[in-house]
Amino acid sequence: MHKSFLSVLFLSLSFLSISQENYNYKSLVVSEADLKGTRYEKDTTANAFFIYEKGFSRIENGGNYNLLTDYSGKIKILNKEGFDESTIEVLLYRNKSRKEILRNLIAFTHNLENGKIVKTKLEEDKIYREKYNDHYTLVKFAFPNVKPGSVITYSYQTESPFIFNFNGWDFQDDIPKMYSEYINDLPGNYLYNIRLVGPLKLDVEESSIKRECIELSNSATADCSHNQYIMKDIPAFKEEKYMTAKKNYFSRVEYELREYKGFDGVNKKYTETWKNVDKELRTEKTIGIQLKKANATKNVLPEAIKTMPISLEKAKAIYKHVTNNYTWNKKYRIFRDVDIKEILKSKVGNVAEMNILLHNIYKEQGFTVKPVLLSTRSNGYATKVHPVLTDFNYLIIQLTIDQETHLLDATEKTLAFGQIPFRCLNQYARLLDFKKGSSWIDITSKNRSSHYYREKLKLTNKLTLEGEAKYTYNGYHAYFRRKAFDKVLKEKYLNKILNDDENLTVSEASLQNEDDLEKPFIEEVNFTKSTEQIEDIIYLKPFTKSFFKENPFKLNERTYPVDFGYNDSYSYIVLIEIPENCQFLDIPENKNYVLPGKTGKLSLNFQLAGDKLQINHNIKFLSSYYPVEYYDSLKEFFNLIVDMENNTVITIKKTS
């Protein structure tokens, strides 16, 4: 009987597993298995997932030969946390004369009620259209009657007159997908650059020729390239700390129009060479023309700076003068609204105006200086395959003195000379040289950024700790601290130096080098801290502050690299002194860990000398960029850091 019971249980579990995994991923039709399924086996943490998704883009005969795309999707809602996926948004592009449109929207919510599939239709008056910004209209709708277990289906067609912007396809989303398929017919007279982005591989990639797929009014025809892409079992893209733009990594196929071959024999090229782009930028009114207006800045500098010889000292004086006297308006706008005369008048400008002004002052003073186009971390990587100016959204400058180059940005008043904002640390950029031709340069931080904490803790006869602390920040850590300090009153900032701890009282706090950007930013604190005592044993956690309160890496799997932006190090020295009537009882063992390839080091060491104990805690990252295969090691590395900083305990015994 026991054996029979196990057999029945095994069969029941088998059928349950089959019903959960037997989703219909081949079409938009909702099956009973779709509705009975209670989870997605390949990601049991998912709250919702795509069972099926398909798109088809093409240019058809008739009308204005616009781009048509048919879309259909089927989503399983597993629980209440997945309800957000039942609200759908579609962005439609427009300019002054043309716009994209959406038509034939059909949407249903499917539920299983009393063993029957019940469909609830989305009504037309529940579809909302609103202005998203100057270039996009938002179409938004929410499915009715959604419950845990529901399956929602929807389909629509978009029509776009912007053929140069042939639809790409996002295989990856913030929820998993069982099946995603994209088909397109590319007319032979439209030549596109096509690339697959992201780490995931296609399950199907097939191409064939579709003869005479387009017929024009003059009876001319064009063949099409018929392309099919299929990807299965696609994991959700989950964002986490220390990453650049999502679009750098999530898996998709992209198209960019390279050339149009007209039936009248006239060809138009959309993708150009950098040589041609350099020529255009040289005469372009918001970049090239403004860069030529160096004479407009001849009266900007005070005589004390103007009369200095060309040197690093003078370069720093010019940089400080500009950052102190001109203000960034928080806008980028590098290809529009750029006017050097306007910023000279108002003393306020966008990124391009601030840095072209700095460029022109250096040029007028006889320095060697060039502009640099880049894409910020949040904007994504600029493609290196061919020039795409819309990939760039930022402009800085490169100054050369005695054959040493310095990257500069005048937008931030708390940036040291030779330091660019963290948002700009995006691997590489394009150096513009209108005489010799532009070129790619690396965007990296020259100097290591660091924390250096030093504390002296003295245990009193009252069994409280008297502490003296000095926290020193270099590089980007100094920049971040100064930026935070710049936004609040000094007294409020001083009150927040130490972590909130009810057992800790700050008696005195002060700052050094608040405004001297060439020096480290230093915080000094005197404090008292209570200890925990059980009978005659005193328990002491030695670290007053922590570099990392929690592990920033929590994903089971991360499909994109870890990008810290700059090389980093952390050093924490604690000196503990105890009175004569006490002795150190239990001191942890020394610990040392190394990341694969010796790309990072972690140590915690204890040195006892009589009534004094010195603790040295060091973390060093020897790279700012770690490929995907390092993720598990980094995750474990940070687990060790958090454990060391939060769970290290020193025990002291009271002897009398």
Question: Rounded CA gap, 565 and 450, in Å?
Answer: 13
Mean pLDDT over residues 525-552, rounded? 92
Instruction: Give me the pLDDT at residue 191, please.
Output: 84
Q: Which residues pair with 653 in a beta bridge?
A: 537, 583
Considering 236, 263, 290, which residue would you say is the last residue of a domain?
263
Mean pLDDT over residues 504-513, rounded? 92
Instruction: Give me the pLDDT at residue 161, please.
Output: 87
Give 446's pLDDT tier (boundaries 50, 70, 90): confident
In a domain, 269, yes or no: no
Instruction: Give me the pLDDT at residue 1, please.
Output: 40
3-state secondary structure of 586: strand
Q: Do 544 and 455 meet the contact criterion of CB atoms below 8 Å apart?
A: yes
In a domain, 3, yes or no: no
CA dihedral 622, 626, 632, 638 (to 10 degrees): 40
Cα Dmax for the chain: 107
Based on the domain organization, do 465 and 528 belong to the same domain?
yes
Which range (331-340, 505-514, 595-604) has the least confidence? 331-340
Give 264's pLDDT tier (boundaries 50, 70, 90): low
Which comes out higher in pLDDT, residue 9 or 41?
Answer: 41
In a domain, 14, yes or no: no
Mean pLDDT over residues 262-291, rounded? 82
Q: Do 377 and 426 meet the contact criterion of CB atoms below 8 Å apart?
A: yes
Percent above pLDDT 90 for the chain: 72
Based on the domain organization, do 439 and 453 belong to the same domain?
no
Percent above pLDDT 70 for the chain: 94
Based on the domain organization, do 371 and 466 belong to the same domain?
no
Mean pLDDT over residues 560-573, rounded? 95
Apex 285 CA angle, 280 and 286, nearest 5: 100
Instruction: Give me the pLDDT at residue 96, please.
Output: 84
Mean pLDDT over residues 356-374, rounded? 97
Based on the domain organization, do 471 and 431 belong to the same domain?
no
Question: What CA–CA distances, in Å, run from 600 to 17, 151, 427, 548, 594?
Answer: 43, 47, 20, 16, 6
CATH of the domain at 636: 2.60.120.1130
Give 567's pLDDT tier (boundaries 50, 70, 90): very high
16: CB partners within 8 A, 6+ apart: none
Which tens digit of pLDDT belongs to each residue from 186-240? 888 788 888 888 889 999 999 999 988 887 666 777 888 999 999 999 999 999 9
What does the block give as tokens for 368? 């060697």
Instruction: Give me the pLDDT at residue 134, please.
Output: 80
In a domain, 428, yes or no: yes
In a domain, 5, yes or no: no
Q: Do 299 and 341 meet the contact criterion of CB atoms below 8 Å apart?
A: no
Q: Which residues pair with 584 in a beta bridge?
A: 652
What does the block give as tokens for 241? 């700390």
Which tens digit of pLDDT belongs to each residue from 73-88? 999 999 999 999 999 9
Question: Rounded CA gap, 408 and 72, in Å?
Answer: 48
Query: What is the average pLDDT score of the chain?
Result: 90
Based on the domain organization, do 186 and 319 belong to the same domain?
no
Q: How do 348-349 and 327-328 pair as beta strands?
A: parallel
Based on the domain organization, do 165 and 60 belong to the same domain?
yes
Which tens digit of pLDDT belongs to each residue from 573-630? 999 999 998 999 989 999 999 999 999 999 999 999 999 999 999 999 999 999 999 9
Mean pLDDT over residues 31-58, rounded? 95
Which range (259-268, 360-369, 484-493, 505-514) has the least confidence? 259-268
Instruction: Give me the pLDDT at residue 63, please.
Output: 53
Look at residue 288 and tell me whether its pLDDT is greater than 50: yes
In a domain, 9, yes or no: no
Instruction: Give me the pLDDT at residue 12, please.
Output: 40
Residues in the chain: 656
Inter-axis angle of helices 312-325 and 351-364, nearest 10: 140
Which range (161-175, 207-221, 283-297, 574-588) has the least confidence? 207-221
Of 130-139, 187-196, 318-327, 531-540, which has the strongest mean pLDDT? 318-327
What does the block give as tokens for 316? 């720093």
Mean pLDDT over residues 251-259, rounded? 86
Which amino acid is present at 10? F
Question: Rounded CA gap, 424 and 397, in Å?
Answer: 12
Question: Rounded CA gap, 31 and 494, in Å?
Answer: 62
Which tens digit of pLDDT belongs to each residue from 110-135? 999 999 999 999 999 999 999 988 88
In a domain, 204, yes or no: yes
Based on the domain organization, do 204 and 231 belong to the same domain?
yes
Look at residue 7 and tell me whether its pLDDT is greater than 80: no
Considering 219, 241, 263, which residue would you say is the last residue of a domain?
263
- The label of the residue with tokens 């990124």 reads 351
Based on the domain organization, do 417 and 516 belong to the same domain?
no
Instruction: Give me the pLDDT at residue 217, please.
Output: 62
Question: Rounded CA gap, 183 and 205, in Å?
Answer: 10
Instruction: Give me the pLDDT at residue 259, please.
Output: 82
Look at residue 3 and tell me whether its pLDDT is greater than 50: no
* Phi-psi domain of 401 (left: phi exceeds 0; alpha: psi -120 through 50; beta: other): beta
Which comes out higher in pLDDT, residue 357 or 163?
Answer: 357
* Torsion sign, CA atoms 346, 347, 351, 353: positive
Instruction: Give me the pLDDT at residue 271, please.
Output: 67
Considering 443, 463, 497, which residue would you say is the last residue of a domain?
443
CATH of the domain at 160: 2.60.40.3140
Neighbours of 169 (CB within 10 A): 23
Instruction: Give me the pLDDT at residue 422, please.
Output: 96
Look at residue 302 and tell me whether its pLDDT is greater than 50: yes
Based on the domain organization, do 373 and 248 belong to the same domain?
no
Based on the domain organization, do 424 and 459 belong to the same domain?
no
Which tens digit of pLDDT belongs to each residue from 476-490? 999 999 999 988 888
Which amino acid is present at 173? D
Which range (197-201, 259-263, 372-376, 615-619) has the least confidence? 259-263
Instruction: Give me the pLDDT at residue 261, please.
Output: 76
Which domain range does residue 201 map to?
23-263
Q: How do 101-113 and 116-121 pair as beta strands?
A: antiparallel
Based on the domain organization, do 304 and 342 belong to the same domain?
yes
Q: Is the pTM of this model over 0.75?
A: yes
Domains held by the chain: number? 3
Question: Rounded CA gap, 607 and 555, in Å?
Answer: 37
Based on the domain organization, do 180 and 47 belong to the same domain?
yes
CATH of the domain at 279: 3.10.620.30
In a domain, 475, yes or no: yes
